[in-house]
Amino acid sequence: MNGTVLIQSLIGGLGIGSIYALVAIGYSLVYRTMGLANFAHGNILMVGAYIGTVFYVSMHTNFIIAIIISSILIGILGMVMERILRPLGKMDLIYMMLGTLGIGIVLQNLAIIIWGTDGIAVQYPIKNEPWVIGNISISPYTLVIICASATVVLALQFFLHKTKLGLAMRSSAQEKEMSLVLGMNVNLMNALTLGLGSVLAAIAGVMVGPVFYVSPDMSSSVGIIGFAAAILGGFGSIPGAIIGGLTFGVLQTMVATQVSEWSQVIAFVIFVFVLIIKPSGIVGERVVDKI
0.85 surpassed by pTM: yes
Rounded to whole angstroms, how far apart are CA atoms 100 and 54?
25
Look at residue 114 in the predicted model and tell me its pLDDT.
Answer: 94
pLDDT digits (tens, 9 = 90+) for 263-286: 667 777 777 887 787 777 777 654
| pLDDT range class, residue 180, cuts 50, 70, 90 | low
Instruction: Assess whether pLDDT exceeds 60 at residue 287.
Output: no
Architecture, CATH, for domain 7-120+130-277: Orthogonal Bundle (1.10)
Q: What is the DSSP string of 178-247?
A: HHHHTT--HHHHHHHHHHHHHHHHHHHHHHHTTTS-BSTTHHHHTHHHHHHHHHHH-TT-HHHHHHHHHH
Nearest Cα residue to 153 out of 270, 17, 247, 8: 17
Look at residue 37 in the predicted model and tell me its pLDDT.
Answer: 86
Query: Which range, of 12-21, 126-135, 257-266, averages the lowest pLDDT?
Result: 257-266
Residue spans of the domains in the chain: they are 7-120+130-277
Average pLDDT over residues 253-265: 71
Query: How far does the chain reach from its first CA to its final CA, in angstroms?
Result: 39
Listed in sequence order, the residues at least 6 apart from 77 whose beta carbon sits closer than 8 Å to its beta carbon are 44, 47, 198
Rounded to whole angstroms, how far apart are CA atoms 200 and 152?
8
